[in-house]
């Protein structure tokens, strides 16, 4: 008998299959304080939460029996996934169940914004019959810019077409062919700014998308543009948006998500041109039933059939394979992150992974998925995991190939990861040296020897005397501390690179000044999100083998 604890308000209908299953006992404690949850969590095998319960590392320390955490929704921001992973706890979610709900809420917000429905309602119920203050605009023949063409963005675009809107779409993985099939136009962010009457956001919150809609971007937009955000708070810089609305350049905004929730900023709550809702994108009866049904069914599958479909942190693997590959997993993820940044943050069309040496005798599927996840996560953030990486590649039309070669390349094990599109190719070569740890040994055609660090400054330059000194002096003038420096070249006096580990990132001004150095062709900060640990984790259920 497996015990399941449900700590947030979750649909009884959605939980029906668990409640009625003879091998499961379901306890519902929707308003349980954290201190009380810590006392009882040790009794349970599975935990189902929505967004209210915070599953922290401290809570997990008391969870001796816990083997599955299910988020009845998409995001897992309220779950310490790393802590769960280290304890061998699977974290699952329901990634597709709220697509329609979020799509329809976006359209509802857009219509409310266009016709000022909330404001008109409020004035009418207050006893005022005012037909002159709420003149709206039509969606018909207007241009809608969709930033982020994942599942929800795609569904919004399909429905907006039925209003007779002209659709512009931006996504790092949107191809011309897919855009044509959807009856829309692939566009850059700048084109969307210049031509859109409405702009709707459907991207994850990543380092690249945080503050994407800021003062600089808003200045590029068409006067009278209206914004809708039902995706993630933080993609729109709220202060910048308020300023643009107050100036009259932006006509209004409809926001369901905020940088800080619950939202309390009076500039957002009291502005007559801003419509706000309290993160209701997934709040429909149907969506809540679907997410509960999905996670309930998967919990049964995990415990009864040893099948995992929507794990955020657990690929299928044997414990023996994991032990052999463990030293390479962090490095593989880092290689993926670095190589996509070297491709100038553009979407790849093709990925190739080469394994050399002893690695060719191992089942490297886990390592391959880890590299692919690293590549994809730069654009897709926490929506990509080790389970869905291959599916997302196929969905985005990206091909990949794995080659195993017995040649040792001078090392017992060596890996090369190459990504390319029609414009360029980027390549990273690396290994794990016994006693020294992970090393980056190749960037494109250049040989180097660099330990992966959080911030790497990659510079391409002409191989001329004094270049290293100029770079070092300039960084010192800007209080940038250098940890290590490595240089690589293919011929004397030709093109060369230097890779520096630095203690903090460089702002745009420092990069700009670096590029003014005579002979310096390119300067770029490569940032790694994980430099300490990476552990896919082990599932220790007695009945589950070969995971």
- Residues noted as catalytic: 232, 261, 279
Q: How many CA atoms lie within 13 A of 223 on its CB side?
A: 3
Backbone angles phi, psi at 425, to 5 degrees: -130, 140
Contacts of residue 440, defined as CB under 8 A and 6 or more positions apart, other chains included, come to 335, 338, 428, 429, 430, 448, 449, 450, 451, 452, 499
Please provide the size of the chain in residues: 547
DSSP string, 451-464: ---SEEEEEEEE--
Distance between CA atoms of residues 252 and 273, nearest Å: 5
The H helix count followed by the E strand count for the chain is 18, 22
105 near 164, Cβ under 8 Å?
A: no
DSSP-assigned states of every residue in 411-452: SSEEEEEEEE-SS-EEEEEEEEETTTEEEEEEETTEEEEE--
d(CA 492, CA 397): 40
Rounded CA-CA distance 7/28 in Å is 6
Distance (Å, rounded) from C-alpha 514 to C-alpha 500?
13
Burial of residue 482, with CB atoms counted within 10 A of its CB: 0-12 exposed, 13-18 middle, 19 or more buried:
middle
Question: What is the spatial distance between Cα 397 and Cα 51, in angstroms, rounded to a whole number?
Answer: 33
Contacts of 296 (CB under 8 A, 6+ apart): 14, 15, 16, 17, 18, 48, 70
**Cα 172-104-117 angle, rounded to 5 deg:** 115
| Helix (H) or strand (E) segment spanning residue 64 | none
**Cβ neighbours of residue 320 closer than 8 Å, sequence gap 6 or more:** none
């Amino acid at each position: 008998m497996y015990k399941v604890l449900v700590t947030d308000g979750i649909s009884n209908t959605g939980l029906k299959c668990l409640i009625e299953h003879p091998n499961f006992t379901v306890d519902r404690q929707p308003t349980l304080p954290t201190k009380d949850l810590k006392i009882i969590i040790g009794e349970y095998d599975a935990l189902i939460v929505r967004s209210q319960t915070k599953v922290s590392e401290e809570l997990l320390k008391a969870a001796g029996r816990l083997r599955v955490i299910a988020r009845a929704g998409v995001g897992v921001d309220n779950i310490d996934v790393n802590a769960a992973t280290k304890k061998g706890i699977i974290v699952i979610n329901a990634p597709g169940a709220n697509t329609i709900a979020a799509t329809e809420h976006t359209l509802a917000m857009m219509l409310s914004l266009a016709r000022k429905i909330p404001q008109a309602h409020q004035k009418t119920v207050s006893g005022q019959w005012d037909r002159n203050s709420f003149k709206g605009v039509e969606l018909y023949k207007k241009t809608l810019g969709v930033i982020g063409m994942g599942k929800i963005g795609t569904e919004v675009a399909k429905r907006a077409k039925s209003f007779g809107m002209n659709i512009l779409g931006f996504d790092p993985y949107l191809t011309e062919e897919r855009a044509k099939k959807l009856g829309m136009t692939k566009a850059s962010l700048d084109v969307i700014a210049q031509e859109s009457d409405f702009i709707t956001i459907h991207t994850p919150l990543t380092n690249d998308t945080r503050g994407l809609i800021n003062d600089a971007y808003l200045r590029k937009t068409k006067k009278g543009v209206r914004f809708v955000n039902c995706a993630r708070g933080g993609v729109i810089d709220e202060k910048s948006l308020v300023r643009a609305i107050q100036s009259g350049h932006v006509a209004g905004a409809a926001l369901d998500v905020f940088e800080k929730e619950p939202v309390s900023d009076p500039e957002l709550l009291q502005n007559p041109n801003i419509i706000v809702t309290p993160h209701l994108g997934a709040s429909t009866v149907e969506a809540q039933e679907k997410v509960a049904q999905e996670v309930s069914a998967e919990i049964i599958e995990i415990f009864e059939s040893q099948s995992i479909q929507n794990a955020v942190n657990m690929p299928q693997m044997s414990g023996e394979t994991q032990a052999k590959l463990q030293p390479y997993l962090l490095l593989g993820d880092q290689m993926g992150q670095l190589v996509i940044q070297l491709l100038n943050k553009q979407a790849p069309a093709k990925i190739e992974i080469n394994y050399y040496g002893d690695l060719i005798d191992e089942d490297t599927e886990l390592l391959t998925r880890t590299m692919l996840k690293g590549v994809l996560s730069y654009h897709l953030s926490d929506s990509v995991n080790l389970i869905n990486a291959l599916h997302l590649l196929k969905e985005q039309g990206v091909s990949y190939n794995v080659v195993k070669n017995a040649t040792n390349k001078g090392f017992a094990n060596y890996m090369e990861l190459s990504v390319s599109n029609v414009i360029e190719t980027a390549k990273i070569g690396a290994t794990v040296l016994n006693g020294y740890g992970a090393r980056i040994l190749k960037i494109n055609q250049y040989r180097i020897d660099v330990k992966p660090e959080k911030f790497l400054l990659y510079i391409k330059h002409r191989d001329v005397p004094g270049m290293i000194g100029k770079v070092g002096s300039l960084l010192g003038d800007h209080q940038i501390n250098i940890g290590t420096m490595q240089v690589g070249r293919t011929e004397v006096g030709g093109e060369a690179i230097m890779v520096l580990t630095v203690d903090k990132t460089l702002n745009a001004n420092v990069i700009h000044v670096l590029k003014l150095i005579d002979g310096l062709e390119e300067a770029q900060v490569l940032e790694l999100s994980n430099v300490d640990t990476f552990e896919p984790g082990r599932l220790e259920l007695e009945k589950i083998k070969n995971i």
